Structure 1
């Protein structure tokens, strides 16, 4: 109660204005009055803040120190009154000096942007330290960390797969602790779950690792998670199967003992080895749920009645063969299920075969606010119920079959459709003629695609087609087009009708070398052109001068390309600002990586080589 009163008082006296919070209630943005800002700057610059190497002032007066690449071990002990120590982009820093223990006034240490893997034992002498932020390379914490009785925030990010093995003993003595990013369960006294029980002020995010070391439900309950009303994000992770002994697991009992407070907003469960996920663990205020690698779980938990659930991700539950009534919840009491779910993602469910509808009643609504549905690597799934996608705006299927997709007759709100990695895809139920609302389409391995009625398309990406889709010439609103495949087999005639096309990506993957299609010269509205793997092109044609609106030209892996168009053609490219070349070893642009080419609009700087991954991005004209 006292802490709440103090917090409220500090809020009323705050120098910040217009606080913006995220959906979990965390402040993400503030405003500060100009006058207050000037006062703060004046105070902070009063000889009490510096960057190491930045001045020769008396170090004993400094209260705050930030440093970059170097730490002077012999000097740091001189900062007698130092209160704040921060590393800034300091991955060259490998250790802190043992003399840091003499800085008794230190309140705040942030070495998260460093490569420090181990802290000196003298850190345990900093009895006034309140905040300790560590980087991802940390492997060990001082054994006497429990002496930091004023510590409120301990942040470090790890998991059992790296070299960090266990927490400091008796962490529960840090009763002022409010932030603890993770806790790795140990086997011996002082390392078990009861250490969390005394940390009554914990809030924010907490990840629990190595839960296979918890013996029973009683031991799990000792963490008293149900009493920690300010923890909003919990992660429960057990060890991988090959790391565990025997087959007699107690994961269900342990999970029941980890019952969270009803205020919990996000829950992530990984490597749970029980056959059933208890529905009680999924409290009513949950906004996000992630279920990963629960290999023995045979059914999905009852989630349909969670009124605030917005994000649901299910990955690698190989024992689940069907989605049935148990998933939806008590539909006799609630007529609208998954009321606020916006994103639903199902990944790597290799044995999932059937997705059932509610069979007992007809007067119900499902997924009324669903925006995005992804079905990835679910090769046995035979169906997606129509009610799931009737409100959906974005649908993605990857490594599934044509039988998976629903009838598109009732998909009037669908705006984005991805069908990738389906090599046996020959046709879709009802085709795509009912998808007149779709604006963005990514599709591969489709033998006979008809786009005649998809007049709203503005972005189209196709891969490994045997021919251009029927009706592509009627897409008068198409702005982005990406084509990947054997480009020698296409009839390019329909492209001349695409008068609104602004961005074009062509990636040739056929066995025979390819030339640029002559029909491209009519696409005078192009602003961006990417061509890749055209090995039969030795010089860019003169009709490139028709691209008077072109701003970006990318040439990738055209191994025999030697010349750009003539200076006369280049002079017509009055808007061209960037040329990016990668893997075109014979193309000479001059000495070095840059060359100035004169146009009527002045000079353009051409970038000859960009060493960045680009291959998959070429499939997505929006991303590029």
Structure 2
């Protein structure tokens, strides 16, 4: 696009045409090893040496230099001689100022000054009337921007950091497509009305410091409702302790109604008690994230948004109940992940009354409940759940309800369940596909179910900070756990020894043992796949059976021995190094 090879058509922008060309070249191996960001946008690629040599040969035949990638050396003296430049890339160049002669580059369409130490841009940059793309990320020394930059009316893409003030007036930049961050300020240097005419914006947009917007009418001037190409929208207010007028948040949010085609919505630091009514009209919404909406006492009825795949509620300190209205009539037909994080007042999560359990959350794969200590009741119908994380929930009944009917788990993580004395009945017996089991800070957990050794697909087992745990049911019959690769036992002080039958774990690659009173190590040399061994705070350790004859541990690469000095004497360092 910078070289002028792309031209807009009646129904396609230059960027769309360029993407088509790129994909054609990629299919024909002109480009290779493409990597993409989370939105599917290509960010890096490679080209074969022969293709590069051909491109270099062609570029030399053009006559006048069109593209310059410079580290800044001699830039001040040479820049004015490159009058035909279309591309100037000064990424990470060692420069502290941009020469004023840059204003003479009338054909310049692409300028990157990211990660330089430039403190101030020259006024002459406002003469780059053909500039289409301006990148200035990671410019920590840049403090002032010339007003003349408002003349860059052909700009289509502007990139700068999320915490940087808006560099210049945006009102006239009606061709702008990329503007990821728009930060309002108290001094009204940049009002939200500047966004009003930027109807070509696409991709991602974050509007910050919304506490400086007075009311609904002012918020409407952003004209978000007509910006059909914005895919992800973040609406962010300042921290609560910096706020004077919290009551206006509800009014302002109503005025920020986005286009119905929006796919991802994040609302952060919203201090109103009621969310916007327009949320239910976002039928294309795939992801919603409510963060630090601390005055909200209820969650919005999202179940009718049939395309919704990811929902996250966090730091909602007044949320007490998730009622049946949350489900709507559609019952979340596409939802894959659901997170409740730091909702300390949440007491009840109601279950909707339906005939078929599969009708509720039919596609939900990941459920995360973090720091909801008062939660007493929760649903039990998750027919497709694969990953379950429960952290800091004190009420055992809620944990048992959630786990009572699960049969499809592959990943189970329970932390900070201070009242839990045992895992829910059938938890391991009914989930034969379990691959990861993490239990941490469960102070009252005294034993694990006997079904533990039947988990044939288990790959990771972690037991940490369980001071009441006395026994791990892994015996010589544990040949039913052939896939176990990682075993970590830390700070389980009542354990008298590690599990018997450890020598049968021929797939074990990492073994971490900490704070174990009795440490028999005779079977270590039979762990033929072991790559990493860590022994910490094990006072009974007398020797480590690693010698030149330890042919049974050919894969061992890392050995960590920490605070095992009480009885460990003469461990033959030369033999250890040879192994």
Q: TM-score range by the shorter chain?
A: 0.7 to 0.9
Distance in 2, Cα, partners of 1:519 & 1:69? 63
Q: Quick check: 311-320 or 551-560, which moved more?
A: 551-560
Residue 4 (structure 1) aligned with residue 11 (structure 2): yes
1:40 aligned to which of 24, 35, 55? 55
Match runs of 1:198-597 below 5 Å: 198-247=197-246, 249-282=247-280, 283-329=282-328, 331=329, 334=330, 337-359=331-353, 365-387=359-381, 389-401=382-394, 402-407=396-401, 408-430=403-425, 432=427, 433-444=429-440, 445=442, 446-453=445-452, 454-456=454-456, 457-465=458-466, 466-471=469-474, 473=476, 474=478, 475-477=480-482, 478-486=484-492, 489-492=495-498, 494-509=500-515, 517-534=520-537, 540-542=544-546, 545-555=550-560, 557-558=562-563, 560=565, 565=572, 567=574, 573=579
Contact 1:508 1:534 in 2 (8 A): yes
Superposed displacement of residue 508, structure 1: 2.1
Over 3 Å counting, the alpha-carbon distance change for 1:148 and 1:358 in structure 2 is: same
Superposed displacement of residue 499, structure 1: 3.0
Distance in 2, Cα, partners of 1:213 & 1:364? 46
Over 3 Å counting, the alpha-carbon distance change for 1:492 and 1:10 in structure 2 is: closer
Contact 1:531 1:555 in 2 (8 A): yes
Distance in 1, Cα, partners of 2:134 & 2:255? 30
Over 3 Å counting, the alpha-carbon distance change for 1:11 and 1:291 in structure 2 is: closer
Superposed displacement of residue 472, structure 1: 5.7
SS at match of 1:289: strand
Distance in 2, Cα, partners of 1:295 & 1:86? 45
Superposed displacement of residue 4, structure 1: 2.3
Instruction: Report the equivalent of 1:611.
Output: none
Over 3 Å counting, the alpha-carbon distance change for 1:289 and 1:205 in structure 2 is: same
Distance in 2, Cα, partners of 1:293 & 1:439? 33
Over 3 Å counting, the alpha-carbon distance change for 1:71 and 1:467 in structure 2 is: farther
SS at match of 2:524: helix
Over 3 Å counting, the alpha-carbon distance change for 1:18 and 1:486 in structure 2 is: same
Superposed displacement of residue 139, structure 1: 4.8
- Size of the alignment, in residue pairs? 544
Contact 2:531 2:555 in 1 (8 A): yes
Q: Quick check: 132-141 or 70-79, which moved more?
A: 70-79
Mark the runs of 5 or more structure 2 residues left unpaired by the alignment. 1-7, 29-33
Q: Quick check: 465-474 or 397-406, which moved more?
A: 465-474
SS at match of 2:232: strand
Q: TM-score, normalised by structure 1?
A: 0.77
Distance in 2, Cα, partners of 1:24 & 1:534? 46
Distance in 1, Cα, partners of 2:277 & 2:103? 48
Instruction: Report the equivalent of 2:5.
Output: none
Distance in 1, Cα, partners of 2:560 & 2:412? 28
Residue 84 (structure 1) aligned with residue 87 (structure 2): yes
Superposed displacement of residue 78, structure 1: 4.3
Superposed displacement of residue 376, structure 1: 1.4
Distance in 1, Cα, partners of 2:209 & 2:107? 36
Over 3 Å counting, the alpha-carbon distance change for 1:535 and 1:498 in structure 2 is: closer
Contact 1:492 1:519 in 2 (8 A): no
Over 3 Å counting, the alpha-carbon distance change for 1:368 and 1:254 in structure 2 is: same
Instruction: Report the equivalent of 1:616.
Output: none
Over 3 Å counting, the alpha-carbon distance change for 1:67 and 1:400 in structure 2 is: farther
Distance in 2, Cα, partners of 1:115 & 1:538? 57
Superposed displacement of residue 192, structure 1: 1.6
Q: Quick check: 124-133 or 37-46, which moved more?
A: 37-46
Superposed displacement of residue 264, structure 1: 1.0
Distance in 1, Cα, partners of 2:73 & 2:574? 51
Superposed displacement of residue 355, structure 1: 0.6
Over 3 Å counting, the alpha-carbon distance change for 1:554 and 1:135 in structure 2 is: farther
Q: Give a deviation string over 1:101-145, Cα, whole Å, max 9, x none.
A: 343332112233445564333322222211011214355543322
Residue 152 (structure 1) aligned with residue 156 (structure 2): yes
Q: Quick check: 347-356 or 464-473, which moved more?
A: 464-473
